[in-house]
Homo-oligomer: A and B are copies of this chain.
C-alpha cells in the first residue's frame, strides 16, 4: 500500500540517523544503510537521489523539529523569565529525547558533506531569534543585564551544546550522575545571565 511505500523512505531516514548517531558521519554508507534495513543499497536511490540529498534531508528535518520543539515550549508559558527558561529547557529536552536528531545537526562538518545549502541553515536560526527577542524583553524589564542580546543568545546556545555534547560523547567522569550534571549546568548557565537580587 501507499503506507508501505512511504514506510521504506522513513526506514531509510531512521536507519541513517541511527548510523549517524552511533557510528558517525564517515561510517554512513549506502551499503550499510541498506543492510541495516534489509534492502539493497541501490534501492535507497529510489527515494534519495544521492547520499548528499539523503543527509541534507535528515539535517533539514531535524533542524525543523528542533525549531518546532522550542517554539512549542516557549508557547506554553507566559512571562519573560519563564519563556527564557522554557526555551532553554525545550532545547535540552529535545537533545535528550531525540538524541539522533539532535546530534545530526551538529555532528556534520560543513565541508565533509557536499556543501549543505546555506539557506537551509537559516531555518535553524528560528530558535535563536526567539531566544534573542526574549532576552531583549528581559533587558527592558531589568531582569537581565547584557551588552548584546544576539551574542547572548548564541552564547547560551553554545554553552548548552557544550553540556550536551560532553554527555553524548561520554567524556564525563564515571562518578558523575548525568542528570544531575545537566540540571546543575543549566542552572549555572541561567544564573550567568540573570541579575541576582540579593535576598537581604
Contacts and interface: CB of A to CB of B under 8 A. Distances in A.
Interface of A: 22-27, 106, 109-112, 121, 125, 128, 147-148, 150-152, 154-155, 157-163, 165-166, 169-173, 175-176, 180-181, 184-185, 188-193, 196-198, 200
17 contacts: A24-B112, A25-B26, A26-B26, A106-B171, A109-B169, A151-B180, A154-B181, A155-B188, A160-B162, A161-B165, A161-B166, A162-B162, A162-B165, A188-B189, A192-B193, A196-B196, A198-B198
B154 A162 contact: no
Listed residue (A109, A159, A181) with the most chain B CB atoms within 10 angstroms of its CB? A159
Q: How many copies does the complex hold?
A: 4
Contacts of A24: 109, 111-112
